[in-house]
Chain A
Amino acid sequence: MNRSLRIRGVLVVVVLLLSVWGLLPTIRLALMSAEDKEVARSDPERAEQLANLEEKAIRQGLDLQGGMYLVLEIDTTGMTADQARDALQRVREIVGNRVDQFGVSEPVIQTQGTSRIVVQLPGLLDAERAKRLIGQTAQLEFRLVRPLEEYENAVTKVDEALRKAGLIEGVADPTEDFADAAVDTAGDASADEAEAAVAAADTAENPFGELPSALDEDDALAGEPAAEMLREYPFSSRVIYQPQLQNYGTPLWVEERNVARVRRLVDEAVELRAMPRGTEFQFGMETVTLQGDQRLRPLYLVSDSPSLTGDRLTDARTSPDPNYPANWQVEFSLDRKGGRQFAKVTGDNVGRKLAISLDGQVNSAPTIQGKIPTGSGTITGRFTNAEASDLALLLRAGALPTDVHIEEERTVGPSLGRDSIRQGVTAALFGLAIVVLFIIVYYGGAGVVTVVALVTNIIILLAILAQFSLVLTLPGIAGIILTIGMAVDANVLVNERIREELRKSKTVRAAVESGYANASRTIIDANVTTLIAAGILLWFGTGPILGFAVTLTIGILASLFTALVQSRVIMEIMTRKKGHQRINV
C-alpha cells in the first residue's frame, strides 16, 4: 500500500471514529426513556451526568421541542445613542430576571442590533402568560389624586382646547370598534361586579361602598351624544361625571366602548398643553359594571409626577386577601429611602387619595388614613393566585426603563414538536432507504461504496451538530434529507466517469485513477455554487431558516470529504491487487 493511500486511510478511519464518538451522548440520550430521565433527575449525582449528556447531545430547536421565540423592540425615541445602548442592556437584564423567575430551563436572551432583544424559551407551555410577563413595563408609581374641584377645571380646559383645535372624535366606525375591543381585552376581562378593591398598608379604607342605586339614566350616561354636543363639548360629552361614585377615588367615568376614543382625546389634550399645571389623566385598570349592562372605566386626575416609584421596592410577595379569601394580594416592602418618602407623602396628605398605578393605569386609589411609617404596603384587587404571583414577580424584577413591543413571535406547542420529529425522521428514513436501494441496484459493488459514503456523511453531519452545539430544527432535518439526495451526486459523478474510462478499455486501476482525477474538478465546481447559496442563507437566515442553512452547508462539506477522500480510499483498496481486472460499477 503506498504512503499517500495509507495516510488517507488513517484519516478516514479517524474522522469516522471521532464522529461516532461525538454522537455517543446523543445516542445514549435517545435510548433513555422519559421515565429514566425523570428518575435520573431526582438523584443529584445522576442529574449532573444527565445534564452533561444533554449538553453534549444534539440540541433540538424550539420547533421540535416546543417553545417560544420572541423579538422585542425597545422604544428609543428621544434617546441618545449611549442612552439607547444602556436602555437595551437594562431591558435585557430585567427580561433575564423575569425569565429566570418564570422557571424556564436554558432560556436564551440576546441583544440584536441597537434596539432589539431576542428571547428564546424552550419547552414553554403558557405563551400568553410569558408574553404578558416579558412585554410589560411594570412601572409601579404612587401618585396623589387631585381634589374634586380640579376635575371640573380640567374637563373644561380640555373641552375648550379640543374645540378650538376642531378635534371631534366622530361617530364610531366598525373597524374602530374592533380596535377598541382588542385594546381593552385586558381591562374588562372579568369585571362584572363593582369591586375595585384597594388598600395601601394598614390604613386602607374599605372602598366597597354601596353604589348610589339610582344613576340618572337621562344624564350623560345615555347612549351616543348628538353631533352638536360632540362639537361643543368634544371631551365632556364622552365622559360621565358622577361625584356620588367618589368611593372609587374618582368622579369621572367613561363607557367601555368609548375608552379608546377618550384615550386619544386625552393624548391630544396633553399635546395641546391643555392640562392644568401638574395634572394628568390616567384610566383605571378595571372595568366596573353598573346596573346590569353599564360598563364603565374610571378616569383619574392625578399628579403628573409620582410621589414614589417602584424603583424603591425591595421585595414583593403574595398572600391571600384577609377580607376576601378567594382573592390574592401583593405585599411589597420599600427600601429605607423609599420608606421615608412613603411616610412623608402619607403623613402630609392625610384624607387625600393616593393612586397606585402600574404602567400608567390606576390599579386602585385608597384614601390615606394616616402616616404609614413601616415602608410596606399591599396591593389588592380581584387577583387570582397566578395573577398576584405574576405581579409580584414583575415588581421584584424591576420595571423596564422604556416601552417594549413584541415585534415577532413564533411559538410551537410541544405536541406539534413531537409530531414534527416523528414526521421528519420518517421522511428521512424513507428517503434514505429508497436512495440506498436505488443506488445499489444501479451500481452494484460501487453502489455499496456510495451507500457507505452516504451513511458516513450523515454521521459526520450529526456529529458536527452535536460537537458545536448547533441546533437541529425541522428545516434542519429537511436540510439533512436534501443532503442525502445531493451527496449521492458526487459519487455518481465519479462512478459515471469510471464507467466511461472503463469503456475506453483502460485497466481498472487506471480507470479509477482517471475517473477521480476528472470528476474531482467538476465536483468542486458544482458544490461551490451550492455552498454560495447556502452561505447566503446562513447570512440572511433568521430563526428556522438558519437551521436549514446550517445542515445544508455542513452536509455539502461532509459530502465533499466522503466522496473525494473516503470513497476513493475504499475504491483504491478494492482495486489495489495486481491483476484485479474487474470492478462492478
Chain B
Amino acid sequence: MEFFRNTHIIFMGGMRVAFILSTMLIVLSIGSLIAHGGPHLSIDFTGGAELQVKIDPAPEISQLRASLERQGLSGVQVQDFGAADEFLIVLPRTEEEVLDAAQVLLDAVEEGLPGSTVEVRREESVGPKIGGELKTAAQSSVLAALLLIVLYISVRFVFRYGVAAIVALVHDVTLTLGIFSVLNLEISLSIIAAFLTIIGYSLNDTIVVFDRIRENMKLRRKESYRQVINRSINECLSRTVLTSLTTLMVALSLYLFGGPVIHDFAFALVIGVLVGTYSSIFIASPILVWWYERRVADRKRAQPAM
C-alpha cells in the first residue's frame, strides 16, 4: 500500500494562501488571548486549590454551585468531570494558607449537601509563591527550548533554517494557545509539557524536510531554489503524512480513552500534531524560499547601482 508516489504537488503555490490563513489564525489567537486577558492559567501558576470529588447521590451542577456560593465561596468554578457524579471545583488565587484551602472547599461541599457521601478523588493546592515560581520556570523552559533548538539547527544546517524552524514553532504554539483560549481551557503544568512535546515533534517534521532540501541542493544544482524545496517536500510527503497519522492515532487514543485527568493534555497533543504537520509543509519551508528569493531580488536590485 502506498499513499503518495511521485507526487508533484506545487506546495509553493499554496504558500500565499497558507501565509494568509496562518496570519488570520494567529491574529484570531492573539485577539482571543487579549480578550480573555491572557491565557487562562490553572492554579499551578496562579496559586489556589482544586478538588475533584465524587458525590453520591449526584447533585445538579447548579445546585452544587449555588450551595458553595451560599457559603460565601464566590469565585469558585464548578464543572463536570468525566462522569455525571464527578465534579471539579476550583478555587483560584486563594489567600488562605494552603493547608486549609482544599479543606475549606471540601467542608463547604459536605456542608452544602447534607446526606450525600463525598469521596475525594484528587486534591491539589498550590501556594502563590510556588505558583509564581512554576510560571517563571514554565516560561523560561519554553524559551530555553526554542533557543537551544535554533542553536542546534544553526549548527547542523545554517542560521536561516533555524529561523524558519522557530517561526514555524512559534506559529504552532501560538495557534495551540489560541485554540485553548477560544475554548477557555486551562493552561496547567501538564499543558506546558504538551507544548514542549509539540515543539519537539513539530521540529522533528521540519528537520526531516530540511534534511532533504539540503541533500537535494547538492544533487540538483540546475533546479531553482523554489523547485528544489518543492521537490523535497513532495519526496518527504509520504513519510510526513504517515508519521503524523500514527502519532495522531495514539494522541487520539489518549484523548478518547486516557481519562479526564489527562484529557486536556491529550487534546493539546492532537492539536499540536495537526498544526505541526501543517506548519512544517506550509510555513517552515516556504519561509526558506521567501527569505532566499528576497535576498536574491535584493542583490539583483542592488547590482545596477554598482
Q: Residues of A at under 8 Å CB distance from B?
A: 63, 71, 73, 127-128, 131, 135, 174, 177-179, 181-183, 185, 405-413, 415-416, 419-420, 423-424, 426-428, 430-432, 434-435, 438-439, 441-444, 474-475, 477-478, 481-482, 484-486, 488-489, 492-493, 496, 499-500, 518, 521-522, 525-534, 536-537, 539-545, 548-549, 552
With A482-B250, A540-B140, A548-B193 known to touch, is A407 a contact of B130 (CB < 8 Å)? yes
B258 CB–A CB distance under 8 Å: yes
B235 CB–A CB distance under 8 Å: yes
Closest to A116 in B: B130
Q: Is the CB of B211 within 8 A of A525?
A: yes
Contacts of A545 in B (CB 8 A): 189-190, 192-193
In the bound assembly, the distance between CA atoms of A443 and B247 in angstroms comes to: 17
B185 CB–A CB distance under 8 Å: no
In the bound assembly, the distance between CA atoms of A474 and B266 in angstroms comes to: 12
Contacts of B197 in A (CB 8 A): 482, 533-534, 537, 548, 552
B246 CB–A CB distance under 8 Å: yes
Q: Is the CB of B122 within 8 A of A537?
A: no
Q: Which of B1-58 contact A (CB under 8 A)?
A: 1-2, 52, 54
B120 CB–A CB distance under 8 Å: yes
In the bound assembly, the distance between CA atoms of A50 and B64 in angstroms comes to: 45
Contacts of B204 in A (CB 8 A): 486, 489, 526-527, 529-530
Q: Is the CB of B253 within 8 A of A185?
A: no
Q: Is the CB of A409 within 8 A of B1?
A: no
With A424-B258, A435-B246, A481-B254 known to touch, is A493 a contact of B141 (CB < 8 Å)? no
Contacts of A181 in B (CB 8 A): 72
With A406-B99, A544-B190, A545-B193 known to touch, is A485 a contact of B207 (CB < 8 Å)? no
How many whole Å from A469's CB to the nearest CB in chain B? 22
Contacts of A408 in B (CB 8 A): 98, 125-127, 130
Q: B196 touches which one: A406, A411, A430, A536 (CB < 8 A)?
A: A536
A-B contact pairs, 23 of them (CB 8 A): A73-B127, A127-B120, A127-B123, A408-B98, A409-B123, A411-B123, A442-B242, A475-B262, A481-B253, A485-B249, A489-B247, A522-B207, A522-B211, A522-B212, A526-B208, A526-B211, A530-B200, A532-B145, A533-B145, A536-B148, A542-B189, A543-B189, A548-B190
Q: Is the CB of A541 within 8 A of B127?
A: no
Q: Is the CB of B97 within 8 A of A405?
A: yes
Contacts of B235 in A (CB 8 A): 500
Q: B124 touches which one: A178, A410, A531, A533 (CB < 8 A)?
A: A410
Closest to B120 in A: A413
Interface range on chain B: under 10, 10 to 19, 20 to 34, or 35 or more? 35 or more
Interface of B is mostly: helix
Q: Is the CB of A485 within 8 A of B152?
A: no
Closest to A525 in B: B207
How many whole Å from A459's CB to the nearest CB in chain B? 17
With A174-B72, A416-B261 known to touch, is A475 a contact of B193 (CB < 8 Å)? yes
Q: Is the CB of B130 within 8 A of A529?
A: no
Binds A, one of B101-109, B220-228, B290-298: B101-109
Sample of 8 more A-B contacts, CB < 8 Å, known A423-B259, A430-B256? A413-B122, A416-B52, A420-B259, A434-B253, A482-B250, A485-B251, A499-B2, A549-B193
Q: Is the CB of B121 within 8 A of A409?
A: no
Q: Which of B227-255 contact A (CB under 8 A)?
A: 235, 238-239, 242-243, 245-251, 253-254
Contacts of A543 in B (CB 8 A): 189
B257 CB–A CB distance under 8 Å: yes
Q: B247 touches which one: A411, A485, A541 (CB < 8 A)?
A: A485
Contacts of B269 in A (CB 8 A): 482
In the bound assembly, the distance between CA atoms of A552 and B126 in angstroms comes to: 26
Closest to A528 in B: B152
Closest to B140 in A: A540
With A475-B190, A500-B235 known to touch, is A537 a contact of B99 (CB < 8 Å)? no
Q: Is the CB of B250 within 8 A of A431?
A: yes
With A179-B96, A475-B190 known to touch, is A435 a contact of B121 (CB < 8 Å)? no
Contacts of A492 in B (CB 8 A): 239, 242-243, 246
Q: A481 touches which one: B2, B144, B149, B250 (CB < 8 A)?
A: B250
Q: B144 touches which one: A73, A131, A536 (CB < 8 A)?
A: A536
Q: Which of B127-141 contact A (CB under 8 A)?
A: 127, 129-130, 134, 137-138, 140-141
B278 CB–A CB distance under 8 Å: no
Q: Is the CB of A427 within 8 A of B257?
A: yes
Contacts of B239 in A (CB 8 A): 489, 492-493, 496
Q: Is the CB of A438 within 8 A of B149?
A: no
In the bound assembly, the distance between CA atoms of A224 and B242 in angstroms comes to: 74
Contacts of A63 in B (CB 8 A): 261
How many whole Å from A227's CB to the nearest CB in chain B? 25
Contacts of B250 in A (CB 8 A): 431-432, 434-435, 481-482, 484-485
Contacts of A174 in B (CB 8 A): 72
Q: Is the CB of A529 within 8 A of B203?
A: yes
Q: Is the CB of B190 within 8 A of A536?
A: no
Q: A537 touches which one: B103, B193, B201, B211 (CB < 8 A)?
A: B193
Q: Is the CB of A478 within 8 A of B126?
A: no
Contacts of A518 in B (CB 8 A): 215
**Per-residue interface assignment for chain B, residues 52 to 71, with 1 indicating a CB less than 8 Å from any chain A CB and 0 otherwise:** 10100000000000000000
In the bound assembly, the distance between CA atoms of A64 and B102 in angstroms comes to: 21
With A482-B269, A540-B140 known to touch, is A488 a contact of B243 (CB < 8 Å)? yes
Q: Is the CB of A521 within 8 A of B99?
A: no
Contacts of A178 in B (CB 8 A): 72-73
Q: Is the CB of B246 within 8 A of A474?
A: no
CB-CB nearest 4 A-B residue pairs? A533-B200, A423-B259, A530-B200, A485-B247
Q: A434 touches which one: B145, B200, B249 (CB < 8 A)?
A: B249
How many whole Å from B294's CB to the nearest CB in chain A? 26
With A478-B254, A478-B265 known to touch, is A71 a contact of B130 (CB < 8 Å)? yes
Contacts of B137 in A (CB 8 A): 540, 542
Contacts of B192 in A (CB 8 A): 545
Q: Is the CB of B254 within 8 A of A427?
A: yes
Q: Is the CB of A486 within 8 A of B261?
A: no
Q: Is the CB of A537 within 8 A of B196?
A: yes
Q: A529 touches which one: B2, B126, B200 (CB < 8 A)?
A: B200
Q: Is the CB of B200 within 8 A of A532?
A: yes
How many whole Å from B120's CB to the nearest CB in chain A? 6
**Highest count of chain B CB atoms <10 Å: which of A434, A496, A533:** A533
In the bound assembly, the distance between CA atoms of A345 and B25 in angstroms comes to: 78
With A179-B96, A408-B130, A492-B242 known to touch, is A539 a contact of B141 (CB < 8 Å)? yes
How many whole Å from B47's CB to the nearest CB in chain A? 9
In the bound assembly, the distance between CA atoms of A388 and B292 in angstroms comes to: 78
Q: Is the CB of B249 within 8 A of A431?
A: yes
**Per-residue interface assignment for chain B, residues 151 to 193, with 1 indicating a CB less than 8 Å from any chain A CB and 0 otherwise:** 0110010000000000000000000000000000000011011
